[in-house]
Structures are given as C-alpha cells and as structure tokens.
Structure 1
C-alpha cells in the first residue's frame, strides 16, 4: 500500500482547487494519506520561493487570470479577492492536526472545508467559531479547536522541516514515501494517479 504525504497550506487557493481529488485517487489505489499542514510562507522563504505580496506584477497578473480559469474548468465557485486573505494559517492547521490525531471524521473534507471557506465563502478561518463549525461539519468534535495546541504547534513546525527535507517547495505538494516521487500542484494529480496505478 502506498503512503502519500500531503503538504498543504489551509489558505492556499491551489489546495482549494485540488478539492477532494486526492482522496478519490487514494481510495482507488488503496493508498493512505498523511496530512501535513504547514506555514506556506515560511516554506517559500526556505526554498527560494517568493511570497505573494512580493511577487513581480506580471506574476500576480497571471495568477489573477489562472486561478479563475482553473476554477471555471473544475466548475468550482471562486472569489479571487476573498474577504479574509491572507490570515493566520496556524489555528486551522492546529485543528487539522488535532483532528487527524483524533480520527473519526472526514479529513479530506475538513481540508477542503477550510480552503473553501476562504476562497468560496468569505469566511475567516483564523476565527475560533468558524474553525469549530467546519470541524463539526466534517464529523469532528468542535472542541478540537482548543485541544492539543502545544502538540499542534510542535507538529506544525515539524511539518515545515519535513517538507524542506522531502523536497517540497509549494502547495499542494504530494510525496509518495515508497518511491520518493514528488508532485507539485493540483494540476499534477493525474500524474500521481498514473504513478500509483503503475507502482
């Protein structure tokens, strides 16, 4: 059975556009997923990337065309200028880490719930009440928003270190542990699917 490490940012528009296709692919191939939320901006800093606010205007103009284009292609609602972006990724990431440790709910749905809240629902995922609502909507105890904060912070930092070690430099980023194959971007999910089919 393949094991996929999924490095993600809960405010990433490209993680939102990934939807739950990773989960569908993993189910089809009997693969497991370990969700590794991290501070995406620090990952950019550590691996030669540029934070969105510091990118050249031509890159930002292209992004403004490409994101709605992909959303339309995938038939997903999308707001290019969400009311709450960027926001602190840590609270939602800690909640995801706690939910993964607790089990019993829909983790893929939870990830998508956080990203959808930003990019399609104009909700603030750094707000405790929003985090609780999204946890509950995906089968988790809302109280996980306040549990394991120390462990969450520790894991969140460790995920960043592991991402750098694994060769990740953006999100979504998928690494198949057994083969070391890396896939960057929601537009590489078909390649991941093919790789698992041939592994």
Structure 2
C-alpha cells in the first residue's frame, strides 16, 4: 500500500504555487498518493491567530515581496509578486477544484489547480471571477460551465468546510501544509523533508 500525503493548500497562495508542481513530481517518483484539501485561509487564520496579508505590518509585507522574488528566481518559477488582483479570497477557485476532484478525480484536480495558480500568479487572471474560472477549466479540457455549477452545490460547500475543519483540528496554521505518516511539514521550503518522509 502506497503512502499518502495530505496536502492542505489555498489556490491564491504563492507558496502553495511554488510547491505544487514539485509535490506532484515527488509523489509520482515515490508512488505516493496525494490527498488534496483546499482550505479557507480566512477561517484558518481566525483559528490559528494568523493575519491576512493586508493586515500584516508594513515591514513583513515588504520582506514577503523580497522572498517571493528570491524564491521565484531560485526555483525558476515565474511569478508576479504584486498581481493585478490581490489574493483576497480563494473560495471560488477552491470549490471549483473540489468539484473537479469529485467529478474527474485527484489527478485532474491537481492539474487544474496548477493551471489556476499559474494563471493568477503569472497572467493577472482574476480567480475570484466565475467567468475566468470557467475559461480556465475549458482550457484544461473540461466543461467549465458544468464544473462551475457543481462548485456551487451543497456537497462541494460541505467538503470545503470539512477540509478547513480538518486543517484546524490538525493544528495547521499556514499553507502549503503537508502531512506524511502523521508528521506535519509547513511550507514549500520543507519539500526536501517531505521527500525524505516519502523514502521511508
């Protein structure tokens, strides 16, 4: 039986974006199953004492931009650290991703997640806009309108709330967050340790 990696993330998080493709590659290499769980960051921060970006002190916001540029260059992953649309909410994108997972499976949802993240962080796409999300799903080869409709169902909303509740119960306080064999890892800069856990 293969290992499972619980993957808590938010589609509007640049750090989730930086780690997303690398996690998928590692999981494939070591035949690890990814249990993807997009979560509501606002609820997580309320529970864990975190602050949304706009409410953080200026010096922390400034250093965040330095780190985003640094990691973008280090990883060779393009990213606009100050996108046209501020990453205020990932709810609509998260629920579209959940709908894709429920309808087409995890691999399809992971691929769509990567496309949504890239569109937001490199092409100034507004992932809070339903028409934009429909277009991105269409580009990925799915029926965007059908997925969008599914994302508004009670079942998807319940799943989104469940994932968020699970994150809070597991003492998650930031994203991306990975759990392997009960061991937590916070941040895309911990993927080296995640890989070591995959090897065990």
Identify unmatched segments of 5+ residues in structure 2: none
The CA distance in 2 between the partners of 1:148 and 1:86, in whole Å, is 20
Q: Corresponding residue for 1:23?
A: 24
> Could you report, residue by residue, the CA deviation over 1:153-190 in whole angstroms, capped at 9, with x for unpaired residues?
111111111001122111111112xx211111111111
Q: Name the structure 2 match of 1:162.
A: 166
Consecutive unaligned residues of structure 1, counting only runs of 5 or more, are none
After superposition, residues 118-197 of structure 1 pair within 5 angstroms as 118-142=120-144, 143-149=146-152, 150-176=154-180, 179-197=181-199
1:24-173 aligned at under 5 Å gives the runs 24-103=25-104, 106-142=108-144, 143-149=146-152, 150-173=154-177
Q: Is the 8 A contact 1:166 1:175 kept in 2?
A: no
TM-score by length of 2: 0.92
Number of equivalences: 196
1:19 CA drift (Å): 3.5
How far does residue 51 in structure 1 lie from its aligned partner after superposition? Answer: 1.6
- Answer yes or no: is the 8 Å Cα contact 2:100–2:108 preserved in 1: no
> CA shift at 1:35, angstroms?
1.3
CA contact (8 A) 1:8 1:37 kept: yes
RMSD: 1.5
The 2-side partners of 1:53 and 1:126 are apart by: 17
Counterpart contact for 1:43–1:169, Cα < 8 Å = yes
For residues 138-159 of structure 1, what are the alpha-carbon distances to aligned partners after superposition, in whole Å with 9 as ceiling and x for unaligned?
3433121111521111111111
**Contact kept in structure 2, 1:91 and 1:126, CA below 8 Å:** yes
